[in-house]
Structure 1
Amino acid sequence: MDRLRNLASQKAVVIFSKSSCYICHSIQTLFYELGASPAIHELDHEANGREIDWALRGLGCNPSVPAVFIGGKFIGSAKDVISLHVNGDLKQMLIDAKAIWL
């Protein structure tokens, strides 16, 4: 869990993903289109990916990816990110975390 917290706080936006997950790719693309440059951690390419996967499940992520952190705070999965984007809150969260500027 400590490793997860350290990774999640390294950049304004951190996404835990798997390279074969099309939903993960879609969420990554959304952040790029909003102007953010997230840190992407592909769990299937990380040496301790399985450990991180279990830590994400411990946070309530099921499935474990994509898992999004903004400003070091756990935001949620794809469903949560899409909901925030649709209601207009995601962009403001990115501005507040200094992930994007206007």
Structure 2
Amino acid sequence: MSTTVAELIRQNKVVVFSWVHCPFCTRAKSILTSATKDVRVYECDQMANGEDLRHQILKAYQHETVPAIFINGEFVGGCSDLEAMQKSGDLAKRLA
């Protein structure tokens, strides 16, 4: 039985579905790891089931790109969404 996105989100406070060489993913991971140590990154391009995970995200959240970021079980979007949350102070509140 393969792991589902829903299971991974439930198991971790902050989850990032990423690609290793994606500059937006690198930026998002940098923002999150600077804000909290409780970050779990799944590099979809390095995982046997990575495309399946991305398909699940597309189907459930209509999000086609990486990174796909979840905080406290809630889908928050991609890198630009995360940057806006950081700028507004919402990121710190969600991670508290």
TM-score by length of 1: 0.84
> Where do 5+ consecutive residues of structure 2 fail to align?
none
Bigger proportion of residues as helix: 2
Alpha carbons 2:18, 2:67 under 8 Å: kept: yes
Specify the SS of the correspondent of 1:9.
helix
Aligned residues: 93
Letter in 1 for 2:62: G
Partner of 1:62: 64
The root-mean-square deviation of aligned C-alpha atoms, in Å, is: 1.3
Distance 1:9 1:22 in 2: 26
What is the Cα deviation at residue 33 of structure 1?
Answer: 1.2
> How far did residue 45 of structure 1 move?
1.2
4+ runs deviating over 6 angstroms = none
C-alpha distance in structure 1 between counterparts of 2:37 and 2:91, whole Å: 11
Q: Which runs of 5+ in 1 are unaligned?
A: 96-102
Cα separation, 1, equivalents of 2:11 and 2:46: 18
The corresponding residue for 1:5 is 6
Find the counterpart in structure 2 of residue 84 from structure 1.
Answer: 85
Partners of 1:17 and 1:77 lie apart in 2 by 10
Please show how residues 12-91 of structure 1 align to structure 2 within 5 Å: 12-58=13-59, 59-63=61-65, 65-91=66-92
TM-score normalised by L of structure 2:
0.89
Q: CA deviation at 1:77?
A: 1.0
